[in-house]
């Protein structure tokens, strides 16, 4: 953790909605006049799409599975040292993984490839990471230790699968069978490297649909925000102003002493009300630390 160069990470599985919720953060940064550097976790994948296809086939022949959730397909050491570098110096190197033709065409590249590594812009106020492993910890690496504010984005698993299947088939050119196979293949890494992160987060936002999602593999559309509640769980944050949130967010209630539930349509408002003061506090610590150095 660094008061000088704070890091905010939104962590979640593929299709959880980390990219979608980045917009809420962008809005808060704009309101507070914060110049944030953005990094997508996918840039720390080890393989391009053709290389990953090959690695998956090879692992299968050896009777193993590899998936985007685990350390074989992602360079946790590079992610950890990137966070350490940003925390220490406010700099580091990033690249982009280009998922779709729309993303790839401006770079004159193919989908499923990486852009070249490039230096982050200098003099940003904070780093905002969005991806799979912002709270990862293994025997060798500890990514989570560098993060000042760690947010989990966690739909219940049926909804997560619906979001992934519909997004990957409609936007990323994968077949339904291929997405289902990748969900199955990822399960062990999901248990070992994705879910444990949500016990290290400061806040989890868990979307729970109020429509039937019992067969996610036959779903035709993603339940909307108005067809959901969001369960918001706080950990290790002092002085959470629950009475204020309950007053400001129509239809909200508390289900446990550390858990607020809001109607799905109020998720954006809830994120702004909850996260704005926490981000302001990070900025205040940054200003204080600048006097010390």
Ligand X SMILES: O=C(CO)[C@H](O)[C@H](O)COP(=O)(O)O
Q: Candidates 44, 68, 128, 198: give the one binding ligand X (CB under 6 A).
A: 68
**According to the binding rule CB under 6 A, does residue 160 interact with ligand X?**
no
Query: What phi and psi, each to the nearest 5 degrees, are found at residue 88?
Result: -80, -45
Angle at 40 between CA 115 and CA 268, to 5 degrees: 140
Site for ligand ATP in 14-33 (CB under 6 A): 14-20
Q: Which of 274, 256, 144, 141 is nearest to 203 (CA)?
A: 274
Angle at 231 between CA 184 and CA 252, to 5 degrees: 155
Which residues lie closer than 8 Å to 211 by C-beta, 6 or more apart? 223, 227
Binding-site string for ligand X from residue 72 to residue 101, where x marks contact by CB under 6 A and - marks none:
-------------------------x-x--
Q: Which residue has the tokens 């985007």?
A: 68
Give me the least distance between CB of 14 and ligand ATP, in Å please.
Answer: 4
CA atoms of 59 and 64, how far apart (whole Å): 5
Closest-by-Cβ residue to ligand ATP is 17
Closest-by-Cβ residue to ligand X is 14
Q: Which residue has the tokens 């992160």?
A: 197
Q: CB nearer to ligand ATP: give 92 or 155.
A: 155
Question: Which H or E element spans position 231?
Answer: strand 228-234
Q: Which residue has the tokens 């890494």?
A: 189
Residue 49 interacting entry, from ligand ATP, ligand X, none, C-beta within 5 to 8 Å by type: ligand X
CA atoms of 64 and 123, how far apart (whole Å): 44
CA atoms of 89 and 103, how far apart (whole Å): 30
Q: What is the dihedral of CA 166, 168, 170, 172, to 10 degrees?
A: 170
Residue 19 interacting entry, from ligand X, ligand ATP, none, C-beta within 5 to 8 Å by type: ligand ATP
CA atoms of 7 and 147, how far apart (whole Å): 5
- List beta partners, residue 206: 231
Interacting span for ligand ATP (CB under 6 A) from 30-38, 59-67, 181-189, 218-226: 218-226
Binding-site string for ligand X from residue 96 to residue 125, where x marks contact by CB under 6 A and - marks none:
-x-x------------x-------------
Q: CB nearer to ligand ATP: give 125 or 130.
A: 130
Q: Candidates 42, 80, 148, 160: give the one binding ligand X (CB under 6 A).
A: 42
Q: CB nearer to ligand ATP: give 120 or 183.
A: 183
Binding-site string for ligand ATP from residue 35 to residue 74, where x marks contact by CB under 6 A and - marks none:
----------------------------------------
Interacting span for ligand ATP (CB under 6 A) from 76-84, 85-93, 221-229, 253-261: 221-229
Count of residues binding ligand X (CB under 6 A)?
10
Q: CB nearer to ligand ATP: give 87 or 262.
A: 262
CA atoms of 260 and 162, how far apart (whole Å): 25
Q: Candidates 67, 158, 163, 252: give the one binding ligand ATP (CB under 6 A).
A: 163
List of residues contacting ligand X (CB under 6 A): 14, 42, 45, 49, 68, 97, 99, 112, 132, 172
């Amino acid at each position: 953790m660094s008061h000088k160069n704070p890091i905010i990470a939104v962590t979640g599985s593929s299709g959880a909605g980390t990219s979608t919720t980045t917009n809420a953060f962008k809005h808060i940064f704009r309101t507070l006049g914060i110049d944030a550097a953005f990094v997508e976790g996918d840039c720390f994948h080890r393989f391009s799409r053709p290389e990953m296809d090959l690695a998956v086939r090879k692992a299968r022949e050896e009777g193993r599975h590899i998936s985007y959730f685990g350390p074989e397909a992602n360079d946790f050491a590079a992610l950890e040292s990137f966070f350490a570098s940003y925390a220490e110096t406010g700099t580091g190197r990033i690249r982009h993984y280009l998922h779709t033709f729309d993303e790839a065409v401006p770079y004159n590249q193919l989908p499923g490839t990486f852009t070249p590594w490039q230096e982050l812009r200098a003099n940003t106020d904070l780093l905002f990471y969005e991806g799979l492993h912002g709270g990862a910890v293994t025997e060798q690496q500890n990514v989570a230790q560098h993060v000042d504010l760690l947010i989990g984005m966690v739909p219940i698993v049926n909804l997560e699968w619906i979001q992934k299947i519909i997004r990957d088939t409609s936007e990323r050119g994968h077949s339904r069978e291929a997405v289902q196979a990748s969900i199955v293949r990822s399960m062990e890494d999901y248990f070992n490297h994705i879910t444990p992160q949500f016990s290290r987060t400061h806040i989890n936002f868990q979307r729970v649909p109020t429509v039937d999602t019992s067969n996610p593999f036959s779903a035709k559309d993603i339940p909307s925000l108005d067809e959901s509640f969001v369960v918001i769980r706080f950990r290790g944050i002092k002085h959470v102003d629950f009475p204020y949130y309950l007053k400001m967010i129509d239809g909200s209630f508390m289900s446990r002493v550390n858990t607020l539930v809001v109607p799905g349509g109020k998720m954006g408002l809830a994120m702004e009300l909850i996260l704005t003061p926490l981000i302001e506090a990070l900025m205040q610590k940054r200003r204080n630390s600048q006097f010390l150095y």
